[in-house]
Amino acid sequence: MDEWDPRADRGPDRIAGAPTAGDDDHEVGALLDTAGSRPEIPREDLDAITTAARAAWRRQVEEVARRRALRTRTTVRAAAGVAALLVAALGALWWWSGSRSGGPGPVIAHVEAVSGSVRFDPAGGGATEVAEGLPLGPGAEIETAATGEAPGRLSLRLAGGATVRMDAGTRLRIASANALELRRGAVYLDTGTVDASSALGAGRIEVRSPVGTASDVGTRFAVRLLEPRASALRVRVRDGAVLVARRGVSYRADAGDELVLHGDGTVERRSAPAWGDDWSWVLAAAPRFDLEGRALTELLDWVARETGWSVRFEDERLATSAEEITLHGSLGDLRPDQAPFAVLPGAGLEGELDGGTLIIRRPQGP
Amino acid sequence: MLAGDEEAFEVFGERYSKALYRFALARLDGDRELTRDLVQTAICKALSKLESYRGEASLLTWLCACCRNEILMHFRARRSAPEERAFEDDARPAAGLADAGTVPSGVPGNPVEAGNPEVLVLRRETETLVHMALDVLPGRYAEVLEGKYLERLPVREIAARLEVGEKAVESLLTRARQAFKVTYERLRSERHGVAAEENGRNRRGRDHG
């Protein structure tokens, strides 16, 4: 934590060109003299910063503890013959999560990533700011700030494993682990990772709206209520298929389809690419990818899944060698469409985007 | 700190928030409100990513990078010019320890300084770095250095103020000078590395544009 290196105390010979105490005295004195006294920082500013930092730190400590608890749970599950311990751990986690979600009943979703201003109302308990790691119970209503200074975006994971992203200016009620009620704006669902064995995740996930209901058939898709007055529902399917129902009639949309249900009863169908600007808000709301120790191929799988791009290696040998490459460091705030271009050079490779295909190759000579 | 150590957080808050505040204030033309907001956001984001901090750079440098990013994003969102100025300011070298004796000392009326904006910028930069280095020094190091070099107190008086013996003050001063030098040099070299890289990127971007 300390900024200075305690090894420096062993003697001045650690500093090149500053071998004597007399030099130190002169140099440090001259610098302090040049700089003068430190201006006082207004106490109220420091207090405001510290208060916000403390809240962020506590959230992070809770998140780390939660992840450790989950890792512990996984380990315990893997050990045959300790089923009783598993039940106790899950029970404790259940109780802990329930107490934090602001009400009784099961936790059916967790917030994975938040940007900008996002508020939620835990089943009528009064609105509050959303933080990463926040558990959500049935009936929780979430609202993201509209596009502007700090547009709110959010990614949450339902108990069954599906992920849900909310665009800025969206209002969504989580009715249950399988039913979302879209009141305004747009959501994106990825149900490709649903754990079918989870009691909370079983069954299709529905996005209900005043105009119609979209339900997944193992897919990734976006649902947007179109203005004015949320009078039409647009469903875009990236992968798999979606059933959109209205007044007893079902319409199927497959990968690459866009369906628009208008308030006057008409239905439009057209094709929509799986990548491009229309999906950029989904990338902005994506949870971070933990790079450290992961294989390059894992990163590329994530990029492909998030962006809708297909990934192609220049040749088969390169594809095989890519499986051996392990990555280190952190992506920071890089989005999925930016990450490969930052990471590939470090692995001695380069990427080129050609339409919706990311081509990986070795750098060409001068 | 991520284990929930309250004391570690207090140290973090006390030392680093002051240094970051100075870092941001120098880049935001003294706009207190904006500085407070951006430093708040930068620290909160940094804390949420603290697990990913690998120690390649010093913690303060890493925090400064987060803060610099927040400032750039702010100006980009507003599409205003100060972004360019921030890069340019960063690229100018601050005084090194070896240069300290030759840096204009800020004597009022110094003709070199009065007529040369670059010297003024350089001096401001040095001031900020020195103050940031003092902010993050542990224990009583900053106190003893300021007593000796700014207030020009004799060792006897510093000893009385700190309620320790004169020998202890001498020893404390030696360690404080070393710690200050290491911190200041590291801040200076790391910041110029980042600044040069940003400047190059910026220039390349302009050339391509």
Chain A CB contacts of B126 under 8 Å are 31, 34-35
Are B131 and A5 an interchain contact pair (Cβ–Cβ within 8 Å)?
Answer: no
Write a three-state SS string for A260-306: EEECCCCEEEEECCCCCHHHHHHHHCCCCCCCCCCEHHHHHHHHHHH
Residues in A closer than 8 angstroms to B134, CB to CB, are 38
Report the interhelical angle of B117-136 vs A21-35 (nearest 10°).
110
Task: Identify the CA nearest to B140 among candidates B179, B100, B184, B183.
Answer: B179
Query: What pLDDT score does A333 carry?
Result: 77
* pLDDT reported for residue B80: 56
CB contact under 8 A, A35 and B131: yes
The percent of residues above 90 in pLDDT, for chain B, comes to: 16
Query: pLDDT at position A12, please?
Result: 31
Residue of A nearest to B77 (CA): A149
- Cα torsion through B80, B81, B85, B86, rounded to 10: 20
CA distance B187 to chain A (A): 9
d(CA B170, CA B144): 10
Task: Report yes or no: A365 and A333 within 8 Å, Cβ to Cβ.
Answer: no
Q: Give the β-pairing of A153-158 and A179-184.
A: unpaired
pLDDT of residue B97: 54
Task: Look at A235 and B113; give whichever has higher pLDDT.
Answer: A235
Asked if A31's CB is within 8 angstroms of B105's CB, the reply is: no
**pLDDT reading at A95 higher than 60:** no
**CB-based burial label for A229 (10 Å; 0-12, 13-18, 19+):** exposed
pLDDT, average across residues B4-25: 82
List of residues 6+ apart from A198 with CB closer than 8 A: A159, A160, A161
Q: Which of B1, B43, B182 sits opposite A4 (nearest CB)?
A: B182
Q: Closest approach of chain B CAs to the CA of A327, in angstroms?
A: 13
- Say if residues A166 and A144 touch (Cβ distance below 8 Å): yes
Per DSSP, B102 falls in state T
pLDDT surpassing 70 at residue A171: yes
Most confident of A13-27, A99-113, B94-108: A99-113
Residue of B44, B126, B137 lying closest to A4 (CB–CB): B137
* pLDDT tens sequence across B51-73: 766 655 677 888 888 898 889 88
Q: Give the dihedral of Cα atoms A194, A200, A205, A210; nearest 10 deg.
A: -150
Q: What is the structure's pLDDT at B55?
A: 57
Residue pair A30/B99 in contact (Cβ under 8 Å)? The answer is no
Best of B105, B178, B189, B191 to substitute, by most chain A Cβ atoms within 10 angstroms, is B178
Q: Find the radius of gyration of the CA atoms of chain A.
A: 26
The whole-number pLDDT of residue A98 equals: 43
Where is mean pLDDT largest: B93-102, B178-187, B195-204?
B178-187
Which whole number is the average pLDDT over B114-121? 70
pLDDT on residue A203: 57
Return left, alpha or beta for A240; rule: phi > 0 is left, psi -120 to 50 is alpha, else beta.
left
Query: What are the start-end ranges of the H helices in B137-165?
Result: 141-149, 155-162
* CB contacts, 8 Å: A30 with chain B: 100-101, 103, 105
In chain A, which residues have their Cβ closer than 8 Å to the Cβ of B186?
3
Task: Identify the pLDDT of residue A21.
Answer: 54
Cβ <8 Å between A34 and B95: yes
The C-alpha atoms of residue B160 and residue A303 are separated, in whole angstroms, by: 63
Residue A45 touches partner B, C-beta closer than 8 Å: yes
How does the average pLDDT of chain A come out, rounded? Answer: 77
Rg of chain B over Cα atoms, rounded to whole angstroms, equals: 19
Instruction: Kindly give the residue spans of alpha helices, DSSP state H, lying in chain A.
Output: 21-35, 43-78, 83-100, 280-284, 296-307, 316-322, 339-343
Chain B contact present for A64, CB below 8 A: yes
Paired tokens of A195: 């754990």
Angstrom CA distances, A309 to A162, A221, A359, stand at 20, 15, 10
Joined together, the tokens standing for residue A273 give 């690419």
A191 vs A169, higher pLDDT: A169
What digits encode the pLDDT tens for the residues B135-160? 888 768 899 999 999 999 999 999 99
Report the pLDDT value the prediction gives residue B204, as an integer from 0 to 100: 53
pLDDT of residue B175: 87
Residue A240 distance to chain B (closest CA, Å): 34
Give the whole-angstrom CA distance, residue A232 versus residue A243.
16
Who has greater pLDDT, A291 or B56?
A: A291
Does residue A281 register a pLDDT over 70?
yes
Environment class of B71 (CB within 10 Å of its CB; exposed 0-12, middle 13-18, buried 19+): buried
Of B2, B9, B18, the CB nearest to A41: B18
Summarised one tens digit per residue, pLDDT across range A207-264 is 999 888 898 776 788 999 987 777 899 999 988 888 888 877 888 888 889 999 998 8
Residue of B7, B10, B14, B47 to mutate, interface with A, max A Cβ within 10 Å: B47
* Tens-digit pLDDT profile for residues A173-185: 998 888 899 999 9
Percent of chain A, pLDDT > 90? 14
Which element (helix H / strand E) includes A136? strand A135-136
Indicate yes or no: CB of A3 within 8 angstroms of CB of B183. Answer: yes
pLDDT of residue A84: 45
Q: What is the mean pLDDT of residues A340-348?
A: 85
Answer yes or no: do A64 and B183 touch at CB < 8 A.
Answer: no
| A9 interface with B at CB cutoff 8 Å | yes
Residue B109: band (very low, low, confident or very high) from pLDDT cuts 50, 70, 90: very low
Q: Which residues contact B44 (CB under 8 A, 6 or more apart)?
A: A52, A53, A55, A56
Q: Is the pLDDT of residue A14 over 50?
A: no
Tell me the pLDDT band of A94, cut-offs 50, 70 and 90: very low
Q: Say whether A142 sits in a helix, a strand or coil.
A: strand
Minimal C-alpha gap between A34 and chain B (Å) = 5
CA distance A185 to A232: 11
Higher pLDDT, B127 or A15: B127
Chains A and B form CB pairs within 8 A to the count of: 177
Nearest 5°: phi and psi at A184?
Answer: -165, 150
Q: Read off the pLDDT of each residue in B73-84 and give the average, rounded to a whole number.
A: 67
Q: Cα distance from B159 to chain A (closest Cα, Å)? A: 18
pLDDT tens digits, B28-43: 888 988 999 899 889 8
Which has the closest alpha carbon to A167: A234, A215, A214, A106? Answer: A234
| DSSP secondary structure, A157-176, as one string | EETTS-EEEE-TT-EEEEEE
Q: Which of A72-76, A199-203, A301-305 has the lowest mean pLDDT?
A: A199-203
Q: Which two tokens stand for residue A361?
A: 């190759």
A148 at B interface, C-beta within 8 A: no
- Residue A187's φ and ψ, nearest 5 degrees, are -130, 155
Residue B183: list chain A partners with CB under 8 A: 3-4
Name the residue among A28, A56, A332 with its Cβ closest to that of B177.
A28
Beta sheet of A135-136, edge-to-edge order = A135-136, A109-115, A153-158, A163-166, A186-190, A220-226, A232-239, A257-262, A267-271
Q: Give me the percent of chain B exceeding a pLDDT of 70.
A: 66
DSSP code of residue B164: S
Handedness of CA A269, A273, A278, A283 (dihedral sign): positive
pTM: 0.43
Is the pLDDT confidence value at B191 over 70? no
Which residues from A are below 8 Å from B103, CB to CB?
Answer: 30, 34
Q: What integer pLDDT is reported at residue A295 of this predicted model?
A: 84
pLDDT in tens, A96-121: 444 444 444 577 888 888 888 888 87
